[in-house]
């Protein structure tokens, strides 16, 4: 497995261990890790602190994002996808989109290359979380 996707999975597991939603993300620039993050919506009582948003926040100011790749264990939602488009991040690599289809078409329609690895590890982690905490999951995706 790609080392950066493994880092994102580790971030997702960190979130789960903290009582949060198991979604992790890393930002890579020129083949080097710039930042990592995970969903902290529950831990920090912050409705917009999704995995990708936490990762980008942790990156700080990096200048141009045109030579970056963002990894996420789950297909980004429209909020995160909007940030990816706004920052002109050209490529997103996701662990899976089976449990949440997200905003793939939106990103692709704005020139973002989206690669879905369809990883069993990511699918199983989310399926287990959704099974165990459906209310928390539905709150996260605004399906209450």
Catalytic center residues = 52
| 8 Å CB contact between 83 and 43 | no
Tell me the residue ranges of DSSP E strands in 39-116: 68-72, 91-94, 113-116
Run of H or E residues at 67: none
| 8 Å CB contact between 5 and 24 | no
- Starting at the earlier edge strand, list the strands of the sheet with 113-116: 32-38, 24-29, 68-72, 91-94, 113-116
- Residue count (the chain): 144
């Amino acid at each position: 497995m790609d080392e950066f996707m493994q880092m994102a999975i580790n971030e997702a597991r960190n979130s789960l261990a903290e009582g949060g939603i198991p979604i992790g993300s890393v930002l890579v620039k020129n083949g080097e890790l710039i930042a990592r993050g995970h969903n902290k919506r529950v831990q920090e009582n912050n409705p917009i602190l999704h995995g990708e948003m936490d990762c980008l926040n942790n990156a700080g100011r990096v200048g141009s994002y045109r030579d970056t790749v963002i990894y996420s264990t789950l297909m980004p939602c429209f909020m995160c996808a909007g940030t990816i488009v706004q920052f002109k991040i050209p490529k997103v690599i996701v662990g899976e989109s089976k449990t949440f289809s997200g905003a793939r078409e939106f990103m692709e329609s704005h020139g973002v290359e989206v690669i879905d690895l369809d990883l069993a590890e990511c699918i199983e982690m989310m399926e287990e979380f959704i099974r165990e905490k459906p209310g928390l999951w539905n709150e996260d995706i605004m399906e209450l």
